[in-house]
Amino acid sequence: GDSVTQMEGPVTLSEEAFLTINCTYTATGYPSLFWYVQYPGEGLQLLLKATKADDKGSNKGFEATYRKETTSFHLEKGSVQVSDSAVYFCALSEMGRGDDKIIFGKGTRLHILP
Amino acid sequence: GAVVSQHPSRVICKSGTSVKIECRSLDFQATTMFWYRQFPKQSLMLMATSNEGSKATYEQGVEKDKFLINHASLTLSTLTVTSAHPEDSSFYICSARDQGGVVEQYFGPGTRLTVT
């Protein structure tokens, strides 16, 4: 079945450091890919998405490129801030199957030190 | 943007009682809503898919008689945890798909349930 694998955390970085959170997926079809962010005590917010190969999703300085050849959707940010501290979830959804379940990775907790 | 609300945000109940959690789409109509459960420091586990006017579809291993789901309108779905026990304590999150949408789901802020 479909699955998402992302790097385990926690990831601790200093402010203004470069961030990469790796995410790879397995899917039977052509999924849409997402990154969600969960701030402490809150629900999930969509951070960015990409719906087809080579698409780049971007938001709030974060970006991720849909790489079909490597089945990856790594999240990057050039200069992180303390306010980026949160849990980040990589996810996929295959609408074409007739359902729209979202399959989530286990999440990566990010701590940014001032 | 699309907003999904949940009520209550936190609830504490005694073992053996039932608790109802509401999920509302505030500015769009949602033919499909989803209920997830999240354990501490873990990912979201899909519990069930709720379609307006029909019975919910439960994921394998989720007790449908314990977690009652009702999707009575295009803007409201409810999850009732019946005869709650301490092991039901968790963070419950709903999401909704816009009736006209294709891919994206919008998530509520979650409800933290504590059963004592």
Q: pLDDT tens track of chain B, all 116 residues?
A: 678 999 999 999 999 999 999 999 998 888 889 999 988 777 888 999 988 888 899 999 999 999 999 998 989 999 999 999 999 999 999 999 876 655 678 899 999 999 99
Give residue B61's identity as a one-letter amino acid code: G
| Average pLDDT value for chain A | 91
Q: pLDDT tens digits, residue range A45-104?
A: 899 999 999 999 999 999 999 999 999 999 999 999 999 999 999 999 876 555 668 889
Task: Check residue A67 and give its pLDDT.
Answer: 97
Tell which phi-psi region holds residue A16, choosing left (phi > 0), alpha (psi between -120 and 50) or beta.
Answer: left
Q: Verify whether the Cβ–Cβ distance A101 to B43 is below 8 Å.
A: no
- Measure CB to CB from residue B110 to each of A42, A101, A104 and give the nearest one: A42
Task: Check residue B101 and give its pLDDT.
Answer: 57
Q: How far is A3 from chain B (nearest CA, A)?
A: 12
Q: How far is A55 from chain B (nearest CA, A)?
A: 15
Task: Check residue A21 and give its pLDDT.
Answer: 97
Q: Which of A12, A46, A29 is nearest to B1 (CA)?
A: A46
Q: For residue A51, which residues of chain B lie inside 8 Å, CB to CB? A: 103
